[in-house]
Structure 1
Amino acid sequence: MAASSSYSGLPMLLLLTLVVLSSLMAAHGGNFYQDFDLTWGDHRAKIMNGGQLLSLSLDRASGSGFRSKREYLLGRIDMQIKLVAGNSAGTVTAYYLSSQGPTHDEIDFEFLGNLSGDPYVLHTNVFTQGKGNREQQFYLWFDPTKNFHTYSVVWNQLNIIFLVDNTPIRVFKNAESIGVPFPKNQAMRIYSSLWNADDWATQGGRVKTDWTKAPFTATYKNFNAQTCSGTSCTSSSSSFSDGAWKSQQLDAYSLRRLRWVQKNYMIYNYCTDLKRFPQGPPPECRL
């Protein structure tokens, strides 16, 4: 899907700021040995390069996954991921935060594979108190299999912001004032998995996984998580050590970028699905 505008007119100072921010994130990643456990998939999940790189693989026998050693309650989470290349139809690379139990909270990135040459679908969702059904889906404006790209969540008392390479793509606002639970009381772990979902993932399940292309592999690096308690902040890198995420909302420039993404790359928004919600969209959609 072609964009109707570009960043060619961005002020140079803003471009430089983004470049500096990106370089900081690339230079100061966490260590996967210290931060994560490989949870399933046997040899298909690997930590390499002294803990600086992690890979998940999927073959006909099994997928694989990992989870964070720590739980997080509010913060900024960054991960750089290079997705499955080539014909990835039927595969899903899930990267999300989740608590446990029937009333769990969850913040989801899911990357739905596609036929070679077709764009990935980035599927997002937010669960509060066990209730989800808040899907928004996007195409990406780049090939996510050629290089690493940064996928981030800013999670504070005000909102949850989904970002791709520091570009906001979605905001879920705190709507407790109108009776919608907001995930702010349950600590969450970070999870990621690569698995076969060819019953639904690609074109509604019409395109199946081509196992002759296996193993399918996704690669991760430069994890960063920042959380704060009171005036003390902790971070797995020095990139975001000032706790700015605690009050972060979108400024005018970020709102323009959000609208650019949603105008040109959003392919599904539950808030506008009147067939699904004939009585009107869920209450948080009014914000």
Structure 2
Amino acid sequence: MGLWLCPWILLLLLAASSMAPSLAAAAASKPSSFSFKDNFDIMWAEDHFRTSPDGQVWYLYLDKKTGCGFQTRQRYRFGWFSMKLKLVGGDSAGVVTAYYMCSDLGAGKERDELDFEFLGNRTGQPYTIQTNVYKSGVGGREMRHMLWFDPTEDFHTYSILWNNHHIVFFVDRVPIRVYKNNGKPNNFFPNEKPMYMFSSIWNADDWATRGGLEKTNWKNAPFMSSYKDFNADGCQWKDPFPDCVKTTTQNWWDQYEAWGLDDNQHEDFSWVGRNLVIYDYCKDYERYPKMPEECRL
């Protein structure tokens, strides 16, 4: 099939990606001008961060010295969160571009976290997208997917829908992973702690590409990932307890229609599950002889 999926499959998924979640389409549109400095802070290595002349595209750089990352100033609890990313092109083995939500600025031991991680590869090989869920510092809920396009050629949208019923990871509005709330006291579901949104680029050649067999080729540095069009349509957390959490049903992202996938999304999600999943912790019986409770949903 070559580097990416064959043309008819590509057309199928492109058509699917154009079908936005019906409620997400009703979300407030992003302002025409977005100020990075009013909404984000650089976490480290400010000299490895650049913007386009108009300030609307943001670039993070990785070299042998360091990578770079940024975070929202605001915390959220529940909502719709999206960003457009263009990943490192060429030989990106060992490089990880991350886009994630986390309840702790320092990745503390009790953090909740929702991860998109894009695992680079050698030239000519497709990217792998890894998603993960942490609850009170415990992770191990990884899934890995192939993508149906080359994420280094253009920007694509990566989104998280988070409400009290489920968490859905979207790629170009196609749901690739659904993580349900089982409603039990020992629930492994991040729904209590407000979270910041983060993006970063860093070297992970000890594990990211073929389990660490492929090392970063620093002759190709600096590596650059690109970002734009951040949209957070969610409940902004204000201590001690924001009003929007008390009345979540007034928000589109927690109305009844957002509690599950619609028919088109179910069809897309099933197709992704049959064709693009390359690792699912729920099916790793050597690692989990006893199936995690949430896998039974």
Interval of TM-score (by shorter of Structure 1 and Structure 2): 0.7 to 0.9
TM-score by length of 1: 0.87
**1:124 deviation in Å?**
0.4
Post-superposition Cα deviations, 1:119-172, rounded to whole Å, max 9, x if no partner, equal: 111010001122111000001110000000000000001000000000000011
Letter in 2 for 1:244: W
Rate the CA distance shift 1:260–1:178 in 2: closer, same or farther, 3 A. farther
Instruction: Map residues 28-107 of structure 1 onto 2, 5 A cutoff.
Output: 28=32, 30-100=34-104, 101-107=108-114
Is 1:250 the counterpart of 2:264? The answer is: no
Contact 1:153 1:163 in 2 (8 A): yes
Instruction: Map residues 188-227 of structure 1 onto 2, 5 A cutoff.
Output: 188-227=195-234
**1:3 deviation in Å?**
6.7
**1:179 deviation in Å?**
2.6
Post-superposition Cα deviations, 1:163-208, rounded to whole Å, max 9, x if no partner, equal: 0000000011011326323211111111111111111110011111
Is 1:283 the counterpart of 2:293? The answer is: yes
**Secondary structure of 1:73's aligned partner:** strand
**1:39 deviation in Å?**
1.6
1:269 aligns with one of 280, 284, 289: 280
Contact 1:52 1:222 in 2 (8 A): yes
Letter in 1 for 2:264: Y
Instruction: Map residues 123-272 of structure 1 onto 2, 5 A cutoff.
Output: 123-177=130-184, 179-228=186-235, 229-230=243-244, 243-247=251-255, 248=258, 249-272=260-283
Rate the CA distance shift 1:205–1:9 in 2: closer, same or farther, 3 A. closer
Give, in whole Å, the separation in 1 of the partners of 2:31 and 2:9. 27
Instruction: Single out whichever of 27-36 and 93-102 deviates more from structure 2.
Output: 27-36
**Secondary structure of 1:51's aligned partner:** coil
Contact 1:63 1:195 in 2 (8 A): yes
Give, in whole Å, the separation in 1 of the partners of 2:21 and 2:254. 23
Give, in whole Å, the separation in 2 of the partners of 1:180 and 1:115. 39
Contact 2:67 2:202 in 1 (8 A): yes
Give, in whole Å, the separation in 1 of the partners of 2:129 and 2:181. 23
Identity of aligned residues (%): 43
Rate the CA distance shift 1:18–1:251 in 2: closer, same or farther, 3 A. closer
**1:27 deviation in Å?**
7.6
Post-superposition Cα deviations, 1:57-93, rounded to whole Å, max 9, x if no partner, equal: 0011111111111111111101000000000001000
Contact 2:164 2:254 in 1 (8 A): yes
Give, in whole Å, the separation in 2 of the partners of 1:92 and 1:261. 23
**1:221 deviation in Å?**
0.3
Instruction: Single out whichever of 37-46 and 26-35 deviates more from structure 2.
Output: 26-35
CA-based RMSD of the aligned residues comes to: 2.8
- Unaligned ranges ≥5, structure 1: 234-241
Rate the CA distance shift 1:44–1:155 in 2: closer, same or farther, 3 A. same
**1:216 deviation in Å?**
0.2
Rate the CA distance shift 1:170–1:43 in 2: closer, same or farther, 3 A. same
- Unaligned ranges ≥5, structure 2: 236-242
Give, in whole Å, the separation in 1 of the partners of 2:276 and 2:33. 29
**Secondary structure of 1:146's aligned partner:** coil
Give, in whole Å, the separation in 1 of the partners of 2:12 and 2:206. 43
Post-superposition Cα deviations, 1:208-250, rounded to whole Å, max 9, x if no partner, equal: 11111111000000000011444999xxxxxxxx932123121
